[in-house]
Amino acid sequence: GDAVVATSGGRYDVHLRRRQRAAVYWQEEVAEVRRCTWFYKGDKDNKYIPYAEPFSAQLEEAYMVAVTLDEWKKKLESPSREIIILHNPKLMVHYHPVATSDDWGSAPMEQGRPRTVKRGVENIAAEIPSGEPLQIDHLVFVVHGIGPACDIRFRSIVQCVNDFRSVSLSMLQAHFKKAQEQQHIGRVEFLPVNWHSSLHSTGVDVDLERITLPSINRLRHFINDTILDVFFYNSSTYCQTIVDTVASEMNRLYQLFLSRNPGFKGGVSIAGHSLGKDEGGIPIPSPERRCFGLGLPRAGFLGSLILFDLLTNQKAAPEDDERGAEGSRAASSPGGAEQVREILKTLELSEYSEVFEKEKMDRQALFLCTEQNLKEMGIPLGPRMKILHYISSKREAQQRDARVTGAEMSPNPTLPFSQVSANYPQLLYKPTIFFAFGSPIGMFLTVRGVKRIDPSYSLPTCKGFFNIFHPFDPVAYRIEPMIVPDAEFEPMLLPHHKGRKRMHLELKEGLTRMSVDLKNNLLGSLRVAWQSFTRAPLPAVEAAEADADAETSAEKQPETKAEEAPEAAKEEAAPIHVGMLNGGHRIDYVLQEKPIESFNEYLFALQGHLCYWESEDTVLLVLKEIYQTQGITLDQPLPGSQ
């Protein structure tokens, strides 16, 4: 049979017989795999490139004949009619003809510059990665907004998460070296939730194209692709489609991950980046923009909001707490299958029982089904509608019961964070932490009429929440002022990964302190001078006394100020209580801008929204908080960190 080898930390499978590499967790074009024995040096980057295996076999055969018979100067013609000459064991060249030949039909070796040919991998400076640690301590799902590109370079969420993962591996080696050497930790796996392709069937982009005016074409399509996202998410029809698709994809990935990593005992966290499409880039005119084939217009900033709405609508049932993570991994029990049979019997659909049994459906899995899932199982339209109506009515009844119970038993019932009327699916796991990067959650809550978040409120199944943003990010908003509206305080400054503030920030703070001190001293001197000028003329003795008084007051003035300063510092250092949304800890974290970014805030605003994927400071905070839940800390605590 075809031997399959898992590579790249288990995210790809290599099918050896077919010589193909296929992605496991997301859709990606299958890549060719070659067994490398013969190489030629490329023109542009001077890297050695392997020949195709059939031609490598011909080269090897010719080489062995030349070595055996000691007959060199052999010529071989490649499949693309290029000439390879074996001069001697150490000198083998590849003549690459130019695209056009002249009228005289010059020979290939006259047309192109020769390339170096090499046999074997010896002395090739190939950057072969050493591989990732096998042990996975924690799983993080990264969710984007609606759209296939995730940054200004038009890269997909898969490429951006690859960057994030690479940075995390280097941060582990730099800041968790002790724990790695003692084999207490392995690594954190980051998987992209690439769910936009599931929305092809809605056809809304075609309908919008039909009604869009032809004038100011680029601006109208930019509005269709970004600003209208808010209205689509606030429409109950499309909101339901979006949350169903996101939740089902996250659950599918979780089950697939467990099936491939049966020994995994770590937790699961989720991260949401607000950008879905290149909201800050130059609007690309139609049809290039829509050739990505999305069913919905591309959302500019809904990734983290979708997750927040999903998490606020999760149910923390006591029986789920007792079962823990093991319950979601267990195979469907006979009791669960029996419940599904009873439901189908109630709906007069008993003839489909075998289909559900074949798919190992229990009651929980049935309630996670979307119309697309049922369609893929071969359930006809009529029965599909009956099942979906049953699921919908049961969910509404559960929500009514939960609201009544909350109003009676809890002095602070759950706030109406989501005004969109939708049935929010349940995740198969309880996330440990929710990380929001450059998120407008605060703005959306305010627009929905939420003036204040109750300090005692926490997400039902997720006890950690971090709102991380760049100071110039135009899409990011704070959360903490909604919990503590009366106090004014700055967000937590994210420590630099090298353990200090950036030089320009320290310089700015030093200059600010210096200017304040100068201002205070100058005001004190002016006050004394003014008092001496405005005082009435006195005899000489009294004048001397007045001078002494003035000096005394001048001496006392700085002392008073000096005494006030520590009090102010004490007030600043006093702990700020921001409620239970992050378990009593701070929620808002701001990155330190780079020196060049501080010159012009507007120029770097869009870049500020796209910086999180390659930000060592962001990655280090994520790793620090994840490993802290396992009792593992940084080798050296960073100054200013909580």
CA distance 564 to 244: 57
Residue type, 313: N
| H helical segments located in 261-361 | 303-312, 318-329, 334-346, 353-358
| H helical segments located in 217-295 | 217-225, 228-233, 236-260
CA distance 590 to 593: 9
Among candidates 550, 519, 554, 517, which has minimal Cα distance to 534? 550
Q: Provide the phi-psi class of 499: left if phi over 0, else alpha when psi is between -120 and 50, else beta.
A: left
566-591 burial: b if 16+ Cβ within 10 Å, else e: eeeeeeeeeeeebbbbbeeebbbbbb
**C-alpha dist (Å) from residue 24 to 2, 6, 14, 256, 312:** 16, 9, 10, 9, 30
* Residue 407 CB partners (closer than 8 Å, separation 6+): 413
In contact, 353 and 342? CB cutoff 8 Å: no
Among candidates 121, 92, 122, 117, which has minimal Cα distance to 40? 117
Q: Is 553 a catalytic site residue?
A: no
CA distance 23 to 618: 27
Joined tokens for residue 231: 């209205």
In contact, 186 and 10? CB cutoff 8 Å: no
**C-alpha dist (Å) from residue 436 to 149, 527, 629:** 18, 51, 18
Hey, what long-range contacts does 102-109 have (CB within 8 A, 24 or more apart)? 108/81, 108/82, 108/83, 109/83, 109/85
Task: Indicate which residue of 156, 198, 274, 328 is catalytic.
Answer: 274
CA distance 249 to 192: 10
Give catalytic residues, as residue numbers. 274
